Structure 1
């Protein structure tokens, strides 16, 4: 059953990554089922849904608060609600205690991508739009894989 969940997670994250890179959006028709499947895998694989449900709510709330705060501070959009829904999915798959690791890995990957772009002489400024979904998806995939295949406790 673990491998079935891994396959579905990888497929949906790959689809979300491609869509976000091409269209700068993470569609609800993929993020909502991903949240539900995360809760299901928590119940099936761990016999407990509470840390995953808390993770979904905490992930969504954290990024919505950051989105609102950034918009008020800078007057421009910084994160979209799709990113918040993807972090909710990360919480549903990994549990609330692992959300900081998901965000850290995603953020470090995004920083590495920006540095790579700058090394290739691409202009990257504070106004350059970069989709965060692919990096967040990477963080989710890494954390869930380490948890699941190395039996890291929740």
Structure 2
């Protein structure tokens, strides 16, 4: 009976993950634009320049707030090529993409494979989380964190941004959960948040002092603080170690095999997010393995 409940819960999490993945595609695309428009408006207000006389920026002005709402809900999804609204039955995660052969039903424009990939990836990650934690409160909150991390990963890849509107609420949620010992206690959570932020803040300034360059952004500090708040300070070393190793291997690989310009920064957030997610699920085992390996 327990196995059946676990299986059903995992399947349900996968289905919900597909739907959430579809919404995450919207968040990943629209949230950076919303942020950039907000920054632009603040700059124009500060400089006392009216939007009508400001230099045009097609990416930020198209469908501006004065003409049409632009948020995570409106406007409704539409083809970027012919601007035809996408009907609900054409927006079913993964299935609609396969049914339409990856093309717009109206103009035949190719739809990026990234959309179904994010949907399927979100569903798979949701199944793993549900199976690992079982039918527990830990699973519910771990799903929320997982979905937030997926959005952060792809936004950072696209724009080298880790939006505070995602990171900070999740950080505070982790600290609130520690009051009920969901993943760790409040003492470890508070120290973890402070230590997580301070650790990368120190690395940032030491690197800048030594090279004159900025090696990472402040969003990375907040993301590690988030994991410290959720999991406690004890997990920070393994998260830093995992993210650094993976980031170094992928970074060197991109420079050697993809001819990535070493002067173009590679976002650290995706590696940090992946390492934190792994620690969320298997942190105890990894810490035990690490301490055993170093002989502690």
**Is 2:284 the counterpart of 1:136?**
no
CA drift of 1:98 comes to: 1.1
Secondary structure of 2:214's counterpart equals: coil
With over 3 angstroms needed to count, the CA separation of the structure-2 counterparts of 1:70 and 1:13, relative to structure 1, is: same
Q: Work out which of the residue numbers 209, 217, 224 in structure 2 matches 1:72.
A: 209
Aligned to 1:23: 159
Secondary structure of 1:137's counterpart equals: helix
Deviation string 1:97-117 (CA, Å, 9 cap, x unpaired) is 110100111111112312432
Distance in structure 2 (CA, Å) of the matches to 1:132 and 1:68 = 16
Q: Which has the higher contact order (CA 8 A, sep 6+)?
A: 1
Distance in structure 2 (CA, Å) of the matches to 1:47 and 1:98 = 11
Query: Structure 1: 5+ residue runs without aligned partners?
Result: none
With over 3 angstroms needed to count, the CA separation of the structure-2 counterparts of 1:46 and 1:2, relative to structure 1, is: closer
Contact 2:196 2:225 in 1 (8 A): yes
Q: Say which structure is richer in helix.
A: 1
Q: Given the two structures, how large is their TM-score scaled by the length of structure 2?
A: 0.47
CA drift of 1:34 comes to: 1.5
CA drift of 1:66 comes to: 1.2
- Work out the number of aligned pairs and report it: 150
Contact 2:184 2:230 in 1 (8 A): no
**Is 2:174 the counterpart of 1:38?**
yes
Aligned to 1:117: 254
Secondary structure of 1:78's counterpart equals: coil
Secondary structure of 1:26's counterpart equals: coil
Q: Given the two structures, how large is their TM-score scaled by the length of structure 1?
A: 0.88
Contact 2:220 2:269 in 1 (8 A): yes
Query: Structure 2: 5+ residue runs without aligned partners?
Result: 1-136, 289-296
What RMSD over aligned residues (CA atoms) do the two structures have, in Å? Answer: 2.0
Q: Could you say which structure has the larger radius of gyration? A: 2
Q: Work out which of the residue numbers 146, 150, 155 in structure 2 matches 1:14.
A: 150
Output aligned runs, 1:53-92, within 5 Å.
53-92=190-229
Distance in structure 2 (CA, Å) of the matches to 1:46 and 1:80 = 27
